[in-house]
Amino acid sequence: MTPEPARRRPGGDRGAAMVEFAGLFPLVLLMMAVIWQCVLIGYTFSLAGNAADEGARAGAAARGDPQGACASAAREHVPGAWDITVDCPLEGEVRTARVALKVPVLFPGAFDLPMTVTGTAGAAEEG
């Protein structure tokens, strides 16, 4: 005697994959947004450090207006969508550049997080 094949219940698991997908899709989107925000935070740190380094070098090598050269070089290396503040004091024999950038929310140019990333660099004065 052979066993009877299992019968499907009406409506059993049909559509379960679609319901699971619909339930998880918003969570996947949320996780992608959180990961993208972390990437933007890291990129802002990179921009701040590079801008400070470039500003300090330009300020140390400038003749005439080292403050202006430092600030101009720092701003030149940051995309326009980031809110930037540059300070370039002379501390002894070292031109120091301090760059502060606001971290954007999800895409640059719209809203900023209540978080400021700073980069600091120094270069010996030339001349």
- Say if 59 falls within a structural domain: yes
- Say if 12 falls within a structural domain: no
**Domains in the chain: how many in total?**
1
Q: What is the pLDDT along the chain (127 residues), one digit of tens a residue?
A: 677 766 666 656 677 777 888 888 999 999 999 999 999 999 999 999 999 999 999 998 888 888 899 999 999 989 988 889 999 998 888 999 999 999 888 877 778 788 899 999 998 887 6
Domain hosting 118: range is 34-124
User: What DSSP line would sit under 14-58, residue for residue?
Assistant: TTHHHHHHHHHHHHHHHHHHHHHHHHHHHHHHHHHHHHHHHHHHH
Residue type, 21: F
| Residue whose tokens read 């403050």 | 67
- Say if 8 falls within a structural domain: no
Stated pTM of the model: 0.78
On whether the CB atoms of residues 84 and 116 are closer than 8 A, the answer is: no
